[in-house]
Structure 1
Amino acid sequence: MKKALRKQTLQELKSLSAEEKEVMDAWLTEQLLLHPFYKEAKTIATYLSFPHEFQTLKFIEEALKDGKEIVIPKTYSHGKMDFVVYKPEQLERNSFGLLEPQGDFTILEPSQIDLIHVPGLAFNPSGYRIGYGGGYYDRYLSNYSGNSISTLYPCQIQDFHPEPHDVPVKEVIMYERDF
């Protein structure tokens, strides 16, 4: 079930045109920057996106201008993930093709992060998500008590039942405008 939903949603995401994505990304970024979770947060964890995902770079730039501290994921084998201070000059591509910090970096404890902007492929209406299958975010979120939020395109809302280890995000912002 999850595998099929993952594949279907990924195909739908990859079929969005650059123009559609640009419009949706701008709207989603604006909504994210206006959200109370964002306004209250001093330290924000976000991700460096794949081309088919919500593009986080504009959000990161705006958050830095607003004086927020940005942290990004650093993954290890066995599904372990830390969040480390974002330094663009330290980024290199990992085995998944994502940019990740290399070299010396500062790891933050979950209690030091006010908001986590969580990626995913599919989400149900209750905020449960299907990611890429590594379990990194479910493991991290299970030990995190702060706020979490995700930004979605309409094709990412799917109907599925969560598994016992799944951890929902607290808020979902979904693109709601017509083209």
Structure 2
Amino acid sequence: MKKALRKQVLQELKSLSKEEKEVMGAWLTEQLLLHPFYKEAKTIATYLSFPHEFQTASLIEQAQKDGKTILIPKTYPHGKMDFVLYEPEKLERNSFGLLEPQGKTIVFEPSQIDLIHVPGLAFNTSGYRVGYGGGYYDRYLEHFSSHTISTLYPCQIQDFQPDHYDIPVEEVLIYERDF
């Protein structure tokens, strides 16, 4: 079921025009920057986007200007993931085609992170998500007690039943304007 949902949403995301994504992305970035979770956070974990996803570059840039510490995921075999300091000069493409930090990195403990901006393909109205199937975020969020938030295009809201091991995102921002 999740496999078909992943495929469907991925197709819908890839069919959005560059202009649509830019408009929705700018609006979502603005909503996130105005959110109390963001304003109160000193250390924010986010992700480096695939082309079809919400683009995090503006968020990262603004967060740095706002003096926030930015972390990005670093993955390991067997579904393990850490959040490490964002250092653009250390980025290289991993096996998934994502930019990921290489070499010696500064790992942050979950207790040092104020907010995680969580990616995903599909979300239901209760904040449960379907990611890319690696389980990295569900495993990480299981031991995370601070705030979580996601930014979504409308096509990412889907009706599905979560699995027992799924961890919901605390707050979901969905693009709400029409073109």
The bucket for the TM-score relative to the shorter chain is over 0.9
> Structure 2: any 5+ residue segments left out of the alignment?
none
Partner residue of 2:153? 153
Partner residue of 2:94? 94
Q: After TM superposition, which residue ranges in structure 1, 4 or more long, deviate above 4 angstroms?
A: none
SS at match of 1:150: strand
Amino acid of the structure 2 residue aligned with 1:178: D
Amino acid of the structure 2 residue aligned with 1:34: L
Partner residue of 1:61? 61
User: Distance between the aligned counterparts of 2:5 and 2:13, measured in 1?
Assistant: 12
User: Distance between the aligned counterparts of 1:176 and 1:54, measured in 2?
Assistant: 14
Amino acid of the structure 1 residue aligned with 2:152: L
Partner residue of 2:117? 117
Question: Residue deviations 1:15-47, cap 9 Å, x none?
Answer: 000000000000000000000000000000000
Question: What is the aligned residue count?
Answer: 179
User: Distance between the aligned counterparts of 1:17 and 1:77, measured in 2?
Assistant: 34
Partner residue of 1:35? 35
**Aligned-residue offset at 1:153:** 0.1
**Aligned-residue offset at 1:104:** 1.1
Question: Residue deviations 1:48-84, cap 9 Å, x none?
Answer: 0000000000000000000000000000010000000
SS at match of 1:104: coil
Partner residue of 1:167? 167
Partner residue of 1:45? 45
Partner residue of 2:81? 81
User: Distance between the aligned counterparts of 1:57 and 1:92, measured in 2?
Assistant: 16
User: Distance between the aligned counterparts of 2:135 and 2:103, measured in 1?
Assistant: 24
User: Distance between the aligned counterparts of 1:3 and 1:101, measured in 2?
Assistant: 28
User: Distance between the aligned counterparts of 1:163 and 1:4, measured in 2?
Assistant: 15
- Matched residues, percent identical? 80
Partner residue of 2:177? 177
User: Distance between the aligned counterparts of 2:145 and 2:136, measured in 1?
Assistant: 16
SS at match of 2:155: helix
Amino acid of the structure 1 residue aligned with 2:126: S
> Structure 1: any 5+ residue segments left out of the alignment?
none
Partner residue of 2:3? 3
SS at match of 2:10: helix
Asked if residue 12 in structure 1 is aligned to residue 12 in structure 2, the reply is yes
Amino acid of the structure 1 residue aligned with 2:146: G
Partner residue of 2:23? 23
Root-mean-square deviation (CA), in Å? Answer: 0.3
Amino acid of the structure 1 residue aligned with 2:46: T
Amino acid of the structure 1 residue aligned with 2:142: S
SS at match of 1:78: helix
SS at match of 1:12: helix
User: Distance between the aligned counterparts of 1:124 and 1:178, measured in 2?
Assistant: 21
Partner residue of 1:106? 106
